[in-house]
Amino acid sequence: MGGVVFGVSALFPALYAQNYKSSACSARCSASAATSAAAVGSWPATTKRRLAEAGEFLSGSRGTLLEVAASAVLRGRSLREGSFFDRLFDRLSGKAEHSKAEHSPGESKPESRNRHDAPHRRELPPPQPHAHSCSDPCPLGVETKCCDHQFVAFSLAASLAFFLVDAAAAPWGELADRRGGKLTLAWASLLSIAGFAALAGGAYLLDDAIVTAGLLALGCAGPGVFNGAFYGTLELIGTGEPKIRAALTSLNAAAFDGSALVFMLLRVAARAARVGLAAPCLAWAALCAPLCVALWRLLPAHGSLLAQPAAAASEQVGMLQAAVEGESKSEVGEDAGDESETKSDVASPLSARWKREEEAARLRKLAVEVSGGEVGMGAVLLSASNCLLVLYMAVYHLVSNFYLETQIDQLEELFGAGHAEWLSSAFNFAFPLGGLLASVPVASLLERAGEAEYFGIATLLANTFSLCSLSSSRQPQLAAALLFGPVRCLTWACYFQFLSTESRYPPGLSARAMGYNNVVIAIVGAAGPYTLAYLVNERALLGGASMGMGKGRGDSRYLQAKLFLQLCNTLIAIFPCLLWRERRRKQAGAAHSG
């Protein structure tokens, strides 16, 4: 459940902001083309004002990071037919609208048949070419962008949303380490349910400000639900259950990607029942609430499993077992035998639990000895293994985010809109389903393989995906679309499994380590795609043809960026190699001392 909420919170804000930018740029073009239209005088004054605001925004005078993030809040209604919320789900479910009508600059689209419709339901003229708003003509039917300026703005909005969601893991990690996963799960779940309720209210009232508030709540709640559920469950199972740990990490990573199915489920439910989008959002909140309560009841209170020292625990186990043995010897008969079996059954789980806690204490002591003193947050974050882990994940996050944000545009540059739409549809289904199906073999791999082995396999598959995405042929691009989900599931599962190693990340520090690691990973993974999108698109506007990045050469423009990413992907193979070397060194030291 934590992975699903985390995934929803990560994808919702990015695509919502992208949908806003699409509406704003299209409205800018519509306003420019309709300036001389006779029908302009019949538009409501509020619509004219919002079109002017959109033009001012896209002209560059209001293009700051905060303006992009707050743009949907500043405009109370949508700039085109329907609310942003409706158009958002059209895009998420793969059913985006493609306008086929063509109008001359002096023509306007027919008004709504119902003249009592609200102003935000009135249709505007379709996008038209305009030299001042877009450097390229805005082709009708192309969903990715109407110009290169707009596409870079897409990337900026999506990168900002991804960064904010990942950075929210840091304060939630502090809460999870200091107050426990149970309390973290409770507060984050309440915030998540409130976010879904706000989405439902915004859909019902057609108020984009309420929808945006709901998205912000989801963005903040996602990492908290994940941290609370993940680390609370780790506290519950202890250190002696490698199979359960492997299943936990792989299923969380798979659920993160599988959460994309939530969008399609909500859209299908809304259309099938003809109830709008408010009812499915409320139903999803109603589903999350009992799941949160059930998990919250299972999780232990913070520190409850470590309340008794290991010596006292061992003494109690010994006394209980001695009492059981004494009574079993003194009592003869079937009833006495049944009673001794019952007490043995009671003693067995208690003994296993305290043995797990003794093992955890031993691992913490080992971590202190390795670090040369008491383990602190700085020592954990600045350790060589953690720095290499962050570098590894930052590079992978950069590669995957750039692919997510620019995939459809790359495919249109290579194959045209028709084939690009087909490949994108295949990716939309293969991404979540591939991650979910990969969770079973990934769990088996994490249980049986060591750190060097599972990171080595993840590196090999990540480079295979990157090489396939470099190709200009359809078959390798389809292979890349099919590989993306399983590779992403494996890589993040390896990351979570590594962070759950108590000899490297002692209890009380692991959640904070993941939170601060995610901030660094988010900086690279969010700033990198925007920078690359700028180089691919904006440099073409500023004389980039001399660098092989000119117009009509989209393949070569993207090829340079993807070659750079492939080089970075190859270099991160140093991390599993160093893990293998570290293990060999420890084995040699143990053999020498033995």
For the residues of 182-235, what is the DSSP string, one character each?
Answer: HHHHHHHHHHHHHHHHHHHHHHHHT-HHHHHHHHHHHHHHHHHHHHHHHHHHHH
Say whether pLDDT at 521 is over 80: yes
- Which of 66, 24, 4, 57 lies closest to 208 in space, CA to CA? 24
- Give the model's confidence band at 303: pLDDT under 50 very low, under 70 low, under 90 confident, else very high: low
Residue 167's CB: how many other CB atoms inside 10 A?
20
Together in a domain, 273 and 366: no
Say whether pLDDT at 129 is over 80: no
Together in a domain, 293 and 362: no
387-433 pLDDT, tens digit per residue, is: 999 999 999 999 998 888 788 778 888 888 888 888 888 887 888 88
Together in a domain, 232 and 362: no
141-162 pLDDT, tens digit per residue, is: 444 455 556 666 666 666 666 6
- Residue predicted with more confidence, 267 or 231: 231
- pLDDT, residue 451, reads 92
Are 448 and 245 in contact by the 8 Å Cβ rule? The answer is no
Distant-in-sequence contacts of 317-325, Cβ < 8 A, 24+ apart? 317/347, 317/350, 317/351, 317/354, 320/346, 320/347, 320/350, 321/347, 321/351
Q: Tell me, yes or no, whether 121 lies in a domain.
A: no
Rounded Cα distance, 387 and 375, in Å: 16
Q: Tell me, yes or no, whether 52 lies in a domain.
A: no
Are 388 and 504 in contact by the 8 Å Cβ rule? The answer is no
Are 188 and 225 in contact by the 8 Å Cβ rule? The answer is yes
CATH for 486: 1.20.1250.20
- Which of 431, 434, 427 lies closest to 411 in space, CA to CA? 427
- Residue predicted with more confidence, 505 or 327: 505
Q: Which of 322, 342, 370 is the last residue of a domain?
A: 370
- pLDDT, residue 76, reads 34
Rounded Cα distance, 74 and 64, in Å: 14
- pLDDT, residue 460, reads 96
Q: Round the average pLDDT of the chain to a whole number and report it.
A: 68
- Which of 297, 178, 187 lies closest to 233 in space, CA to CA? 297
Rounded Cα distance, 323 and 140, in Å: 83
Query: Residue 321 belongs to what domain range?
Result: 308-370
- pLDDT, residue 179, reads 87
* Alpha-carbon torsion, ordered 133, 34, 205, 114, to 10 deg: -160
Q: Which of 347, 370, 393 is the last residue of a domain?
A: 370
Together in a domain, 384 and 436: yes
Are 228 and 181 in contact by the 8 Å Cβ rule? The answer is yes
Q: Tell me, yes or no, whether 390 lies in a domain.
A: yes
Residues written for the chain: 594
Q: Which of 370, 398, 418 is the last residue of a domain?
A: 370
Rounded Cα distance, 494 and 238, in Å: 19
Residues 6+ apart with CB under 8 A from 308: 316, 354
- Give the model's confidence band at 166: pLDDT under 50 very low, under 70 low, under 90 confident, else very high: confident
3-49 pLDDT, tens digit per residue, is: 455 555 455 544 444 444 444 444 444 444 444 333 334 334 444 34
Give the mean model confidence (pLDDT) for residues 377-394: 91
- Residue predicted with more confidence, 199 or 351: 199
The three state secondary structure string of 516-542 is: HHHHHHHHHHHHHHHHHHHHHHHHHHC
Query: Hey, what are 385's tokens?
Result: 């293994």
Rounded Cα distance, 203 and 199, in Å: 6
- Give the model's confidence band at 577: pLDDT under 50 very low, under 70 low, under 90 confident, else very high: very high
Q: Tell me, yes or no, whether 332 lies in a domain.
A: yes
This prediction has a pTM of 0.64
Rounded Cα distance, 69 and 420, in Å: 29
Number of domains present in the structure of the chain: 2
Q: Tell me, yes or no, whether 157 lies in a domain.
A: yes
Exposure of 578 by Cβ count < 10 A (0-12 exposed, 13-18 middle, 19+ buried)? middle
Distant-in-sequence contacts of 354-359, Cβ < 8 A, 24+ apart? 354/308, 354/310, 354/313, 354/314, 354/316, 354/317, 355/240, 356/238, 356/239, 356/240, 356/241, 357/238, 357/305, 357/306, 357/310, 357/313, 358/310, 358/313, 358/314, 359/238, 359/239, 359/240
Together in a domain, 312 and 180: no
- pLDDT, residue 222, reads 81
Together in a domain, 399 and 439: yes
Say whether pLDDT at 347 is over 90: no
End-to-end CA distance of the chain: 46
Q: Tell me, yes or no, whether 341 lies in a domain.
A: yes
The listed range with the strongest mean pLDDT (92-101, 191-200, 460-469, 584-593) is: 460-469
Q: Tell me which DSSP letter residue 125 carries.
A: P
Q: Tell me which DSSP letter residue 464 carries.
A: H
Together in a domain, 487 and 540: yes
Together in a domain, 356 and 261: no
Rounded Cα distance, 514 and 170, in Å: 8
3-state DSSP assignment of residue 379: helix
Phi, psi of 2 (to 5 degrees): -60, -40
Together in a domain, 292 and 358: no
Exposure of 20 by Cβ count < 10 A (0-12 exposed, 13-18 middle, 19+ buried)? buried
Rounded Cα distance, 55 and 584, in Å: 62
Give the mean model confidence (pLDDT) for residues 184-188: 89
**Angle 274-141-18 from CA coordinates, rounded to 5°:** 70
Together in a domain, 456 and 338: no
Q: Tell me, yes or no, whether 85 lies in a domain.
A: no
Query: Hey, what are 128's tokens?
Result: 């038209």
Together in a domain, 415 and 528: yes
For the residues of 305-347, what is the DSSP string, one character each?
Answer: GGSS-HHHHHHHHHHHHHHHHHHHHH--SHHHHHHHHHHHHHH
Say whether pLDDT at 437 is over 70: yes
Sole residue written with tokens 């010897």: 329
Q: Tell me, yes or no, whether 363 lies in a domain.
A: yes
Percent of the chain past pLDDT 70, that is, above it, reads 54
Together in a domain, 243 and 391: yes
